[in-house]
Structure 1
Amino acid sequence: MTKRSAEAAATAPATVSDVRQRNRSQALRSIILAGSTTRAELARESGLSVASVTNLVSELIAEGLVMEGGTVASSGGRPTTLIEPNPSGAYLLGADVGERGVAVELFNLSMARVDREFRGGREGEPIDAIARDLDEAVEALLERNPGALDRMVGIGLGLPGIVETDEEGRQVLYAQSLGWPAIPISQLVSHDIPVFAENGAKTQAMAELWDGSARGASEALVVLMGRGVGLGIITNGQLAHGLSSSAGEWGHVKIERGGRLCRCGGRGCVEAYVGADAILSDWRDAGGEFEGSGWNALGELLDANSSGDPAATRVVDELVATLGSALGGLVNLTNPERVVIGGWVGLRLMETLAPRIDAAIRREALERPGSQFTLSASRFGGDTVALGAAMLPLNAIVNEPRKAHVGS
Structure 2
Amino acid sequence: MAGRNGRTVRDLRRANRTAVLQRLYFDGPLSRFELGPATGLSSGSVSNVVADLVADGLVEEAGSVDSDGGRPRTLLRVAPGSGHMIGVDVGETRVRIELFDLTLTELARAERPLAQQRYEVEVIAGHIRDGIAEVLDTAGLAPERLLGAGIGVPGIVEHTADRGAVVHGQTIGWDAVPLEALLRAGSGLPDTVPYLIDNGAKTLGQAEMWFGAGRGARNAVVVLFGSGVGACLVTPEVEHGRAVEWGHLTVRVRGRRCRCGALGCLEAYAGAESLLARWREAGGTPPEGTDEETALTAMLAAAYPPDDGRPDPVALAVLEETAEYLGAGLSDLINLFQPERILIGGWAGLQLGSRFLPAVRRHAMSYALRHPAEKVTVELGRLGPDAVTVGAAILPLADFFARGGRRPEPAPEYPLPAWRRSLRERAPR
* Superposition TM-score, scaled by structure 1 size: 0.90
- State how far apart, in whole Å, the 2-side matches of 1:127 and 1:98 are: 13
Matched to 1:186, the amino acid is A
Does the aligned pair in 2 maintain the 1:280–1:293 contact within 8 Å? no
Most deviating of 122-131 and 296-305: 296-305
Does the aligned pair in 2 maintain the 1:72–1:79 contact within 8 Å? yes
Matched to 1:221, the amino acid is V
**1:179 equivalent in structure 2:** 173
Matched, 1:395 2:393: no
- State how far apart, in whole Å, the 1-side matches of 2:98 and 2:142 are: 12
Report SS of the residue matched to 1:370: helix
Report SS of the residue matched to 2:227: coil
Matched, 1:277 2:257: no
**1:376 equivalent in structure 2:** 379
Most deviating of 368-377 and 44-53: 44-53
Matched to 2:100, the amino acid is F
Matched, 1:155 2:152: no
User: Which of 18, 26, 29 is the equivalent residue of 2:19?
Assistant: 26
- State how far apart, in whole Å, the 2-side matches of 1:212 and 1:36 are: 20
Matched to 1:44, the amino acid is P
Report SS of the residue matched to 2:175: coil
Matched to 1:164, the amino acid is E
- State how far apart, in whole Å, the 2-side matches of 1:41 and 1:389 are: 31
- State how far apart, in whole Å, the 2-side matches of 1:12 and 1:302 are: 59
Most deviating of 78-87 and 156-165: 78-87
**1:164 equivalent in structure 2:** 158
Matched to 1:121, the amino acid is L
**2:420 equivalent in structure 1:** none
Matched, 1:256 2:252: yes
- State how far apart, in whole Å, the 2-side matches of 1:338 and 1:169 are: 36
Does the aligned pair in 1 maintain the 2:99–2:107 contact within 8 Å? yes
Please say which structure displays the higher CA radius of gyration.
2
Matched, 1:288 2:284: yes
Deviations 1:298-349 (Å, cap 9, x if unpaired)?
A: 2222232224321122111101111111110110000000000000011112
Most deviating of 89-98 and 119-128: 119-128
Uncovered stretches (5+) of structure 2, i.e. residues with no partner:
306-310, 408-429
- State how far apart, in whole Å, the 2-side matches of 1:290 and 1:88 are: 46
- State how far apart, in whole Å, the 2-side matches of 1:296 and 1:100 are: 11
Report SS of the residue matched to 1:262: coil
Does the aligned pair in 2 maintain the 1:120–1:130 contact within 8 Å? no
1:40 Cα deviation after fit:
2.3
Q: How does 1:182-193 map to 2 (within 5 A)?
A: 182-184=176-178, 185-189=180-184, 190-192=187-189, 193=193
Matched to 1:385, the amino acid is V
Deviations 1:165-222 (Å, cap 9, x if unpaired)?
A: 1246822111111112322122135222321110000011111111211112111100
- State how far apart, in whole Å, the 1-side matches of 2:6 and 2:198 are: 29
Matched, 1:234 2:209: no
1:13 Cα deviation after fit:
3.4
- State how far apart, in whole Å, the 1-side matches of 2:149 and 2:325 are: 37
Matched to 1:301, the amino acid is M
Does the aligned pair in 1 maintain the 2:342–2:376 contact within 8 Å? yes
Matched, 1:61 2:54: yes
1:99 Cα deviation after fit:
4.6
Percent identity over paired residues: 40
- State how far apart, in whole Å, the 1-side matches of 2:323 and 2:259 are: 21
- State how far apart, in whole Å, the 1-side matches of 2:99 and 2:91 are: 18
Report SS of the residue matched to 1:147: coil
Q: How does 1:326-345 map to 2 (within 5 A)?
A: 326-345=329-348
- State how far apart, in whole Å, the 2-side matches of 1:284 and 1:167 are: 46
Report SS of the residue matched to 1:111: coil
- State how far apart, in whole Å, the 2-side matches of 1:399 and 1:335 are: 29
**2:350 equivalent in structure 1:** 347
Q: How does 1:295-310 map to 2 (within 5 A)?
A: 295-307=293-305, 308-310=311-313
Matched to 1:330, the amino acid is L
Most deviating of 216-225 and 178-187: 178-187
Report SS of the residue matched to 2:71: coil
1:277 Cα deviation after fit:
0.8
Deviations 1:98-132 (Å, cap 9, x if unpaired)?
A: 35431011010111111111113311321110111
Does the aligned pair in 2 maintain the 1:42–1:53 contact within 8 Å? yes
1:256 Cα deviation after fit:
1.0
Does the aligned pair in 2 maintain the 1:230–1:248 contact within 8 Å? yes
Matched to 1:234, the amino acid is V
Uncovered stretches (5+) of structure 1, i.e. residues with no partner:
1-10, 242-246, 404-408
Does the aligned pair in 1 maintain the 2:25–2:77 contact within 8 Å? yes
1:146 Cα deviation after fit:
2.1
Aligned in 2, Cα 1:372/1:198: closer, same or farther, shift over 3 Å?
same
- State how far apart, in whole Å, the 2-side matches of 1:19 and 1:362 are: 47
User: Which of 103, 126, 131 is the equivalent residue of 1:137?
Assistant: 131
